[in-house]
Structures are given as C-alpha cells and as structure tokens.
Amino acid sequence: MRAEGKRRTALFTLIIGDNDAGQRLDKFLLKTLVHCPKSLLYKANRQKKIKVNRKRVELSAMLQPGDQLDLYLPDEFDPAQRGGAVAGTLPAAVPPLPADDIVYEDDHLLVVNKPVGTPAHSEQRGACNLRDQVLCYLMASGSYRPQRELSFVPALANRLDRNTQGLVLVGKTAPALRELCRLIREDRVQKRYLCLVSGVPQPDRAVLTGYLRKDRQQNRSEILDEPVPGAKKVVTEYRVLRQLGGHAEVEVLLHTGRSHQIRAQMAAIGHPILGDKKYGGQHPAYRWQALCAYRLQLQPEPDSMLSYLAGREFAVDPWFAI
C-alpha cells in the first residue's frame, strides 16, 4: 500500500488476498473504507478513480485472489486504518474465552460452547458477548491479525438466543465462513437441541409444521396454522427421551431455523420450555430456559473445503443436565 505526493487525492494500491476474494467490489470497499460515504465511492468509480488490474470495472465485479486494486481517493480514507478500526470497536476489557468453551478448532473454523446468559452479539455498547470474546481470543492466539486484513473479520456462522446455551460455529477465514453459511443455508448442518418441557408431549415423537410470525417490537414469535403475509414456514421434529414427573426431557431436531422457533412451537402445542418466561414456561427452579444446542454435525459434500469434517459430531453437556 502506498500514497504518492501531498496532493488532496492519494493513490492507494491494495492486493486482494484469499480473505477478501469472492465478494463484490462495492461490498469490499464499503467494509474496507469504513468512513467513506457510499456516494463518494460511486462518484469515484464513475470518474475512473477505482481500477482493478489497471482497468475500470463495475462495482458489481467479483474480486479474485491476486487482483490489484488502485484507489484514487482523499487521503483521509486510507485503508491502512482498517485494522486499527476493527480492534478499536472492541470494549477495553473483554472477559477471556474460557478454554473449556472451545469444543474444536482448526485453521478454518472454531466450534464454541456459548454459555447461558451470554449474548451472541453485542446488545449494548461495552456489554460482554461471544463475538467479542472470540475476536479477542483469535487475536491473542495470532489466528486473526486485523492489521493484515482489509475487509475480513471472523464471524459467527450461527447464533443462539442470549439465554440458550449451545454450539456456535465460527469462520476463522472468509472462505470457511462462506462455506459454513452455505452448509447451514442448504440444511447440511444438523443441529439437535435438548430441552425440558412442561408436561409430556403426545405423541412421544412428531414433526411439527406451522408458520412463524415475528413481532420485533415485543421480540416474540407467534405460531400460526395457515400462511399469512410476513410469516415463514417452520418445521420442528421432537422426540421424548424420558418423563420426569410432570415434565419431560425432549430432543429437538431443527429442519428450519427461525427466531425462537423451538420455544414458540413447543409452547404452541402446550408444552413450553421450563424457565422460558416469554412463552409461559415460568418455573422457580429454572432462571433461564432449559434449552441447549447440544449436538451438531456437519454434512459437507466430498468437494467441499470442509469435507474432512463430514460426519463429525460435536457435543456439549447442557447446564441443566439431570
């Protein structure tokens, strides 16, 4: 990267690496030049001040590894500040990620056990959350060095409710993150949950189908029998593992992944999760909902970059294990 002269407009040259490839030019620029107005980028492109491999291209062009990106922009938008900006968004003191919460790690991904009570992402400035803990852990281990990245930041590929414990996948590289998101989107990540519910569902095994409508103001989901505008189809399979007096231990297999899906569907059939106050599962013995994403299995194709994990199952013990 270099700047030439002391003129108002500077030349910045960036070489696209593996973590920046595979995305549209405009999306890359918006993530890299975090303080640069979108209107300025579009104007610069019209004026041929943004070039890939010394040629003007459309902002929809897909970047490839090794591409040379030349930017003629005001020097206050220096992309070299990107790494510092990423690190600067983290709170000054982030609790360390407990070693016991790291279920699996390799060069591409991380599997973490999110504890109950910890949000996946920041809900308010300075609050502890899993995303910040993961970033600090990866920076401390040297797996992620913001100063060497232009646009990529490791991210959680799936998320869980604040008061739901369980397995979360983290992409340590851009190709791995894209692949994890694709596998999840194409239902190639099997997620099983364990929960304790009020009463004993009948029959002891069933597939529940309905339509979920989210009330974002109340942060609450409603299950409907018929499709309506704004509602999304949900499919949840459950089986009763054992009866515990007036309650039951139930394993749930998700066939779709919607907000509060398990909590809302179990409540809709009259068996809310114990401790889930939002959906009628109040219980004095449970401060949080007794729900855990306790088993996860990747099912990538043979030609996937994650094919070596085909059939590999990850598991954790729920906090409410009996």
Give tens-digit pLDDT for 221-266. Answer: 999 999 999 999 999 999 999 999 899 999 999 999 899 999 999 9
The superfamily (CATH) of domain 89-185 is: Pseudouridine synthase (3.30.2350.10)
Give tens-digit pLDDT for 256-295. Answer: 989 999 999 999 999 999 999 999 999 999 999 999 999 9
CA dist., res. 150 & res. 315, Å (int) = 34
pLDDT band with cut points at 50, 70 and 90 for residue 118: very high
Chain-centroid distance of CA 105 in Å reads 16
- Measured between alpha carbons, how far apart are the two ends of the chain, in Å? 58
pLDDT at residue 220, as a whole number: 93
- Check if 9-77 and 192-289 are the same fold: no
The CATH label, of 3.10.290.10, 3.10.20.310, 3.40.50.150, 3.40.30.10, for the domain at 9-77 is 3.10.290.10
pLDDT at residue 31, as a whole number: 84
Q: Is 187 a catalytic residue?
A: no
The whole-number average pLDDT for the span 182-194 is 95
The DSSP bridge pattern shows strands 247-254 and 232-244 to be antiparallel
Give tens-digit pLDDT for 93-111. Answer: 788 899 999 999 999 999 9
Among 22-31, 117-126, 129-138, 168-177, the minimum mean pLDDT is found in 117-126
Q: Point out the catalytic residue in the list 67, 101, 132, 161.
A: 161
pLDDT at residue 5, as a whole number: 44
pLDDT band with cut points at 50, 70 and 90 for residue 91: low
pLDDT at residue 4, as a whole number: 44
Closest of 252, 118, 140 to residue 196, by C-alpha: 252
CA dist., res. 252 & res. 262, Å (int) = 8
CA dist., res. 44 & res. 49, Å (int) = 5
Residue 5, both tokens: 């002269």
The CATH number that domain 192-289 falls under is 3.30.2350.10
Q: What percent of the chain has pLDDT over 90?
A: 70
Domain ranges of the chain: 9-77, 89-185, 192-289
DSSP track, 7-56: SSEEEEEEE--TTT-SSBHHHHHHHHSTTS-HHHHHHHHHTT-EEETTEE
The whole-number average pLDDT for the span 53-81 is 87
CA dist., res. 306 & res. 189, Å (int) = 12
